């Protein structure tokens, strides 16, 4: 279990984060500037907002670019002045720079001393449409409100087109039966929270996390500390296959791609509460507890029938996922669908933190989770490559401590997981330790970790390599990560990360223990001239296990026999250049130049990227061109064009695309924002799949209306 410790390192997202709206974060993700985890963190941070007048150190540290010294300066300014009415005052006081204010401004909320109306907040309405859509477009309504009496609330309402109906088991056909998808309305997120000085009670959907994210964390924040109301819905808009049936059941719609539904992560649903700063002798005590009963939707290939299969590691047909047919007749068979609400997870736990002083804390965290399957007549359980353990209940308990000596901060967490998977020894152990040296313009972090082979905790999100063992990244790993941030001046900023790890035990492949894996990156930004700014960065990956196949590099197989290839499971789709996740050894270099000859009136930018596999088998490239025009205050026109080639030397078997979008944003004041965006994506390669692709080109339209009050 763990505690909420004083944080030292502000999150460095590996690049400057200059955005206006949430859609800009998805653009940065498309460009490979931020990864999946960073996208989730920043979307949550933007959606929730950070109130400069009430945020604690943990919340401020999550903002881009800020160091601990700068966060301390903000807190000290707030303590002396009593209230921050305009963030520009922080620049005038020397707490942060003008450039940093520009990056954190979209994430900030400034609460009024005396609210003019008892209710304030944000309401947004989204929709998106493709010309190829054979069904009505999806809608998404979100609202985050601040209410009287220290209350707040959040809600997310969406329409669905691909979500299946109820799922049941058919004993005659020995298969699952699901009602077909229909256009409907769904309420995935809703919470109400009361938060006063040192007290918080939340009912509804929520996330939480503590310390080094080793024992309990689904907050997806880099440095979580407590309870967070959850109304997150993602806005990724890449077209998806419309037909969800096998065997030509869709006829003319077989190859059609259409707009996806809005997606959301299943978090916790129930009640959570915390009490802070209770007197405990000369120390202070923080208490957090929660209970959750969350319905979870599971990808159809991540389940198996325990009555037919003893061990899902067995890849025979008896251990494969049961087929899913359309109810009521059972004629058409579903492919690649998610089974809605087939499992309820009953979860409870909490955190106890004792604070000896402002520098030293220690804590204990634990949770217990019990999967309850909702499909009578069949003994469903999770496949070995799913994110959850199979075999029944699971949980974890851990201890955590933190202290500070001058500019050096020490953090450590040790955890023990528990599960009922046969052959997993009932669980395993894990340790994460961080040491952070922090100054106003410089930070250095050293993170050391050890996760044994039996540590199986789906709520662990501590630092790890990009490979997995049976669906878990925080498992079977001995590694170290070094991160360095240096702001030489307001003109120059350098970032560097080195992450290296080895497998202490064999994974799915024999003789894989001891294999060494490395990921390294470096980036330099120049901000010296207002009319010209530039950046260059590079990434090296040398992984001896392919994370998409669990295949070991043949050079490491001492026996000379072909290694056994395990099931890779369902992998998340990444839009990073040329599928970084599946290329074990490569070098990627990128650069960006931005020209603003007329200030903010017109800006131009270009961003080329080049990637080569160390084997020399493939060379990928992409280039972005951007232009933004602000003809009048509150109105902005942007256009981007990207050309991407997944192998410069292969014109027949690899993907090549050209993507252009135009965005019109109108914001007459802080209270109102409207956005209209048109995308055209063309596949220009000569693959057979491209010749039959429908549609090509893809024409997409997105609309956003947002009001703050």
> Hey, which residues does 708 pair with through a beta bridge?
122
CB 550 within 8 A of CB 565: yes
Exposed, middle or buried, 251 (CB in 10 Å: 0-12/13-18/19+)?
exposed
Label residues 471-500 b or e (16+ Cβ within 10 Å = b): bbbbbbbbbebebbbebeeeeebebbbebb
Provide the pLDDT confidence category of residue 547 given band limits of 50, 70 and 90: low
Span 567-585, average pLDDT:
42
Q: For 584-610, what is the mean pLDDT?
A: 92
Ranked by mean pLDDT, the top range of 29-38, 89-98, 464-473 is: 464-473
State the pLDDT confidence band at 579, using cuts at 50, 70 and 90. Answer: very low
Where is pLDDT greater, at 648 or 557? 648
Question: Is the model more confident about 95 or about 419?
Answer: 419
User: What is the model's pLDDT at position 445?
Assistant: 93
633-666 tens-digit pLDDT = 889 999 999 999 988 888 778 899 999 999 999 9
**pLDDT at 104 (0 to 100):** 86
pLDDT in tens, 105-156: 888 877 665 555 578 888 999 999 999 999 999 999 999 998 998 899 999 9
pLDDT single digits (tens) 350-391: 999 999 987 899 999 999 999 999 999 999 999 998 989 999
Share of the chain above pLDDT 90, in %: 55
State the pLDDT at residue 114: 54
576 pLDDT more than 50:
no
- Secondary structure of residue 159 in the 3-state scheme: strand
- Per DSSP bridges, beta strands 394-405 and 361-373 are antiparallel
pLDDT at 580 > cutoff 70: no
Is residue 556 predicted with pLDDT exceeding 80?
Answer: no
Segment among 202-211, 275-284, 366-375, 577-586 with least mean pLDDT: 577-586
> Which of these ranges, 62-76, 305-319, 441-455, 515-529, has the smallest mean pLDDT?
62-76
Torsions phi, psi of 541, nearest 5?
-125, 130
Q: Which residue has the higher pLDDT, 506 or 569?
A: 506
Within 13 Å and on the Cβ side, how many CA atoms surround 709? Answer: 12
Does the bond joining 697 to the residue before it have cis omega, within 30 degrees of 0? yes
pLDDT recorded at residue 204: 97
Residue 193's DSSP bridge partners are 152, 202
- Reported as a single tens digit per residue, the pLDDT across 215-262 is 999 987 777 889 999 999 988 778 998 988 987 788 778 889 999 999
CA distances from 146 to 104, 194, 377, 462 (A): 21, 10, 46, 32
pLDDT, tens only, 167-219: 999 999 999 999 999 999 999 999 999 998 889 999 999 999 999 999 999 98
Residue 240 CA, chain-centre distance (Å), reads: 20
Comparing 12-26, 484-498, 534-548, 576-590, the range with the smallest average pLDDT is 576-590
- Domain boundaries along the sequence of the chain: 618-709
pLDDT at residue 37 is higher than 90: no
- Which pLDDT belongs to residue 599? 83
Residue 431 has pLDDT above 90, yes or no: yes
Tell me the C-alpha distance between 285 and 191, whole Å. 26
- Alpha-helical runs (H) found in 82-202: 88-92, 98-104
And the tokens for 89?
A: 């005052």
Name the 3-class secondary structure at 344. Answer: strand
- pLDDT at site 477: 95
Beta bridge partners of 328: none
């Amino acid at each position: 279990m763990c505690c909420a410790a004083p944080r030292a390192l502000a999150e460095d997202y590996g690049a400057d984060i200059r955005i206006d709206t949430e859609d800009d974060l998805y653009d940065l993700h498309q460009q490979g500037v931020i990864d999946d985890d960073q996208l989730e963190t920043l979307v949550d941070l933007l959606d929730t907002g950070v109130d400069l007048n009430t945020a604690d150190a943990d919340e401020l540290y999550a903002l881009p670019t800020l160091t601990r010294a700068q966060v301390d300066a903000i807190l000290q300014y707030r303590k002396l002045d009593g209230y921050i009415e305009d963030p520009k005052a922080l620049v005038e006081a020397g707490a942060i720079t003008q450039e940093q204010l520009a990056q954190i401004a979209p994430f900030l909320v400034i609460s009024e001393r005396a609210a003019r109306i008892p209710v304030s907040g944000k309401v947004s309405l989204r929709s998106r449409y493709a010309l190829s859509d054979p069904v009505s477009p999806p809608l998404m309504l979100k609202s985050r409100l601040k209410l009287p009496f220290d209350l707040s609330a959040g809600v997310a309402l969406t329409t669905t087109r691909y979500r299946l109906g109820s799922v049941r088991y058919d004993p005659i056909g020995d298969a699952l039966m699901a009602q077909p998808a229909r256009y409907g309305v769904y309420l995935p997120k809703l919470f109400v929270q009361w938060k006063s000085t040192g007290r918080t009670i939340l009912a509804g959907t929520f996330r939480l996390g503590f310390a080094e994210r080793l024992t309990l964390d689904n907050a997806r924040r880099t440095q979580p500390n407590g309870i967070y109301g959850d109304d997150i819905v993602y806005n990724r808009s890449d077209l998806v296959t419309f037909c969800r049936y096998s065997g030509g059941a869709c006829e003319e719609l077989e190859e059609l791609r259409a707009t996806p539904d809005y997606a959301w992560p299943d978090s916790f649903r129930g009640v959570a509460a915390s009490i802070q700063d209770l007197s405990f002798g000369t120390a202070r005590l923080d208490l957090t507890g929660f209970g959750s009963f969350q319905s979870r939707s599971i990808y159809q290939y991540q389940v198996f029938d325990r009555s037919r299969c003893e061990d899902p590691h067995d890849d025979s047909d008896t251990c494969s996922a049961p087929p899913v047919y359309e109810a009521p007749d059972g004629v058409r068979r579903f492919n690649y669908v998610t089974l809605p609400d087939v499992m309820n997870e009953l979860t409870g736990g909490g955190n106890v933190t004792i604070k000896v002083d402002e520098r030293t804390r220690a804590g204990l965290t634990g949770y217990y989770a019990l999967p309850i399957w909702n499909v009578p007549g069949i003994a469903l359980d999770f496949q070995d490559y799913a994110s959850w353990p199979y075999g029944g209940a699971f949980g974890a308990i851990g201890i955590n401590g933190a202290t500070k000596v001058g500019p050096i901060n020490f953090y450590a967490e040790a955890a023990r997981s528990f599960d009922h998977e046969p052959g997993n020894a009932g669980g395993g152990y894990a340790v994460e330790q961080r040491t952070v040296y922090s100054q106003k313009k410089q930070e250095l972090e050293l993170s050391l970790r050890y996760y044994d082979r039996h540590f199986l905790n789906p709520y662990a999100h501590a630092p790890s390599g990009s490979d997995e063992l049976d669906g878990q990244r925080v498992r079977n790993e001995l590694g170290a990560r070094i991160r360095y941030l240096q702001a030489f001046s307001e003109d120059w900023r350098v970032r560097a990360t080195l992450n290296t790890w080895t497998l202490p035990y064999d994974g799915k492949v024999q003789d894989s223990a001891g294999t060494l894996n490395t990921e390294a990156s470096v980036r330099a930004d120049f901000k010296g001239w207002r009319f010209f700014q530039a950046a260059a960065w590079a990434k090296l990956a040398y992984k001896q296990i392919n994370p998409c196949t669990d295949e070991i590099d043949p050079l490491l197989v001492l026996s000379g026999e072909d290694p056994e290839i395990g099931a890779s499971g369902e992998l998340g789709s990444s839009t990073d250049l040329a599928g970084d996740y599946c290329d074990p050894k490569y070098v990627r270099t990128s650069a960006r130049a931005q020209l603003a000859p007329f200030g903010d009136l017109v800006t131009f930018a270009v961003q080329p990227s080049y990637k080569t596999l160390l084997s020399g088998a493939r060379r990928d490239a992409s280039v972005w061109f951007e232009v933004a025009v602000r003809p009048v205050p509150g109105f902005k026109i942007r256009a981007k064009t990207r050309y991407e080639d997944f192998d410069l030397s292969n014109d027949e078997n690899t993907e090549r695309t050209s993507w252009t979008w135009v965005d019109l944003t109108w914001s007459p004041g802080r209270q109102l924002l409207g956005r209209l965006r048109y995308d055209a994506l063309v596949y220009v390669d000569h693959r057979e799949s491209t010749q039959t692709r429908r549609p090509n080109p893809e024409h997409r339209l997105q609309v956003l209306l947002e009001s703050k009050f």
